[in-house]
Amino acid sequence: MSAPADDLNVLKAAIERHCITRHAEPVRLNSGGFSNYYCDLKSVTLHPRYAKIIGELMATAVIDSGAEAVGGLAAGCIPIADAVARAALDAGRLLPTFFGRAEAKDHGPQALASMRAAATEDGAPLIRAGRRVAIVEDAVTQGGAAMQATRAAQAAGCDVVLVMTVVERHEGGGARFREIGIPFKRLFYTHEDGSLHVDEELAVRVSSAAAR
């Protein structure tokens, strides 16, 4: 299951047009650092056409990882996890979704405060010991949000088998996950000037699918 090369190009153009802005003076990032470009993926992850492409592009890697569920930290992961789950369902695989919060709610049972998850077919908790999960994000700079989601899943006993993002910024946050033995994948990456590039592994996969 792979999105056509045309869809990949459509998504890249949309991110370049709607999500990446360049600035004369450095702007503060969510990670706490500063940069002369800013990348906010919500304009495409919340758009039905672009979200569908993202889901189709990510679902192959998520399924191949052996994940039984897909999610991450609110709010960046939610539309992406949903898109991946829908693409997986179209391919005949059931991938329930979940999300965690950066801070626990101040109401409701505390056991349910930090992690929300879909129902399961057998009624057992989706987030539980031994569950293989994939963490997805819209953008990774230093990897803080994805790492927080990873740690939360691991604290619940889950096995994090993949971390994947739409865009990895030039700061290279993906290395944090590889260093601790967690596979990290991306659709795109940026250079320091904010230019956007297709991940080499993804480009090969999409080209191979188009040739078949």
- What are 76-81's contacts with CB under 8 Å, separation 24+? 76/41, 76/42, 76/45, 76/137, 76/138, 76/139, 76/145, 77/135, 77/136, 77/137, 77/138, 77/149, 79/45, 79/46, 79/51, 80/45, 80/51, 80/54, 80/55, 80/136, 80/137, 80/138, 80/166, 81/136
- pLDDT confidence of residue 4: 74
pTM: 0.91
Q: Is 45 left (phi over 0), alpha (psi -120 to 50) or beta?
A: alpha
Tens digit of each residue's pLDDT (9 = 90 or more) over 135-176: 999 999 999 999 999 999 999 999 999 999 999 999 989 999
pLDDT of residue 113 exceeding 80, the answer is no
- pLDDT confidence of residue 211: 74
Tens digit of each residue's pLDDT (9 = 90 or more) over 13-53: 999 999 999 998 888 887 778 899 999 999 999 999 999 99
- pLDDT confidence of residue 3: 58
Mean pLDDT of 168-186: 95
State phi, psi for 49 to the nearest 5 degrees: -70, -50
